[in-house]
């Protein structure tokens, strides 16, 4: 199924080298003013071709909104249909691969599931699909900001470089803590990407995200927990191999006395003094920041000859060309923000 969400629902379509990508965002409340410059800004953050470190494919990525917003830019409460034309699809890059299964890609599994696939640019499995998600998330963000909700995601590690424990500052000082930033570490991360590119290789990374301003009470208590919805959404990103929130993996090594958050007297200025729980208890938001980390695998497309089977399992050494990022995590933060916005918006509608 190609739908995310229950009450605020994004349904998408599009093959990477087909005529267009697009989707329908259904369930956004009426009366929200859409600032298209804002929306475009979010889409542009995702766009490829902005540096030598990301894919060289150049799409203008200007959405056409087909419904759901009136002439004054106000949402009608009806579904918002949108499309992005695919204009820079060079399918010839992929001819050689048409009958080959690339390691680490979805070629093989699509064939197993459907019996055929669109080999051009990964078809439906391409990261180009995420332009739809950013569009859906950007529209949703227009609503969330009227509620005082903010969402920020950042690249916090690439390969061996990066920040230790990027959520630590938020966990210990939920009101003022921020994701870490220092120039040296940022340069080190860029260095990792550049080295991978030069080695005709790719490299993984970590993205961290903080959501602020969510009211207490969001999420369902048994199935449909806030963290379950978030994890489900984030694991939709092809390259994501894991998700942790709050203390995350570190909690497995901790004692209970180190892992709980004490309440603040009078629940003020926030319900709890610390945020090791990461914003949800029993699956329901506490009103504290929701913070989480995602780990991305390196893009499986590397510019080296690799043995690739055809449908019969006959092997051939092939070098994939195409235009790919050496580090998919680099472009991911805005996509993570978009998915987080969609999840938050969906929970707010219940």
Residue 4 binding a copy of itself, by CB under 8 A = yes
Q: Does 13 bind a copy of itself (CB under 8 A)?
A: yes
User: In the set 49, 213, 283, 322, which binds a copy of itself (CB under 8 A)?
Assistant: 283
Contact string 314-343 vs a copy of itself (x = CB under 8 A): xx----------x--x--------------
* 157 is a site residue for a copy of itself (CB under 8 A): yes
**For residues 34-69, b (16+ Cβ closer than 10 Å) or e, as one string?**
beeeebeebbebbbbeeeeebbebebebebebeebb
Give yes or no for residue 267 binding a copy of itself (CB under 8 A). Answer: yes
For 81-148, give the DSSP string: EEEEE-----GGGGGGGTT-PPTTSSHHHHHHHHS----GGGGGGSGGGHHHHHHHHHHHHHHHGGGT
Residues 218-247 that bind a copy of itself (CB under 8 A): 220-225, 227-236, 238, 240-247
Q: Which is nearer to a copy of itself, 178 or 254 (CB)?
A: 254
The encoded tokens of residue 58 equal: 């150049």
Tell me the window of 37-45, 47-55, 176-184, 291-299 that interacts with a copy of itself (CB under 8 A).
291-299
Closest CA to 291 of 269, 281, 272, 276: 276
Does the protein bind a copy of itself through residue 128 (CB under 8 A)?
A: no
Question: Which residue among 106, 134, 153, 193 contacts a copy of itself (CB under 8 A)?
Answer: 106
Per CB under 8 A, 208 contacts a copy of itself: no
Which of 166, 177, 204, 345 touches a copy of itself by CB under 8 A?
Answer: 204
If we measure between CA atoms, which residue out of 142, 176, 141, 180 comes closest to residue 161?
180
Residue 49 or 103 with smaller CB distance to a copy of itself? 103
Angle at which helix 226-234 crosses helix 332-349, to 10 degrees, equals 140
**Binding-residue pattern over the window 50 to 79 for a copy of itself, x denoting contact by CB under 8 A:** --------------xxxxx-x---x-xxxx
Is 117 an interacting residue with respect to a copy of itself (CB under 8 A)?
A: yes
> Is 168 an interacting residue with respect to a copy of itself (CB under 8 A)?
no
Closest by CA position to 21, among listed 114, 118, 101: 118
Q: Is 87 in the site for a copy of itself (CB under 8 A)?
A: no
Contact 185, 161 (CB under 8 A): yes
Tokens of 69: 């917003």
Structure tokens at 5: 């969400």
């Amino acid at each position: 199924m190609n739908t995310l969400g229950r009450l605020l629902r994004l349904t998408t379509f599009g093959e990477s080298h087909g005529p267009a990508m697009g989707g329908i965002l259904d369930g956004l409340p009426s009366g929200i003013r859409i600032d298209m410059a804002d929306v475009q800004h979010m889409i542009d953050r995702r766009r490829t071709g902005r540096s030598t470190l990301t894919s060289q494919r150049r799409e203008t990525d200007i959405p056409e909104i087909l419904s759901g917003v009136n002439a004054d830019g106000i949402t009608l409460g009806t579904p918002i249909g949108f499309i992005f034309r695919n204009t820079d699809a060079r399918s010839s890059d992929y001819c050689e691969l048409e009958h080959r299964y690339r390691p680490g890609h979805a070629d093989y599994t699509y064939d197993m599931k459907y019996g055929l696939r669109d080999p051009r640019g990964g078809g439906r499995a391409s990261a180009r699909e995420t332009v739809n998600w950013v569009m859906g998330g950007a529209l949703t963000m227009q609503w969330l900001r009227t509620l005082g909700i903010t969402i920020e995601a950042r690249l916090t590690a690439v390969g061996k470089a990066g920040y230790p424990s990027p959520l630590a500052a938020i966990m210990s000082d939920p009101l003022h803590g921020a994701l870490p930033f220092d120039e040296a570490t940022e340069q080190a991360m860029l260095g990792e990407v550049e080295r991978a590119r030069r080695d005709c290789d790719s490299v993984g990374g970590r993205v961290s995200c903080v959501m602020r301003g969510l009211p207490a009470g969001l999420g369902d208590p048994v199935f449909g927990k806030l963290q379950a919805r978030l994890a489900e959404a984030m694991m939709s990103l092809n390259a994501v191999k894991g998700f942790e929130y709050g203390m995350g993996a570190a909690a497995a090594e901790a004692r209970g006395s180190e892992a709980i958050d004490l309440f603040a007297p009078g629940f003020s200025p926030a319900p709890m003094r610390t945020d090791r729980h990461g914003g949800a208890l029993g699956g329901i938001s506490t009103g504290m920041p929701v913070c989480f980390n995602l780990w991305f695998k390196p893009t499986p497309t590397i510019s080296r000859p690799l043995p690739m089977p055809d449908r019969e399992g006959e092997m051939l050494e092939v070098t994939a060309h195409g235009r790919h990022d050496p580090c998919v995590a680099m472009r991911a933060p805005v996509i993570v923000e978009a998915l987080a916005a969609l999840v938050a918006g969906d929970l707010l509608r219940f």
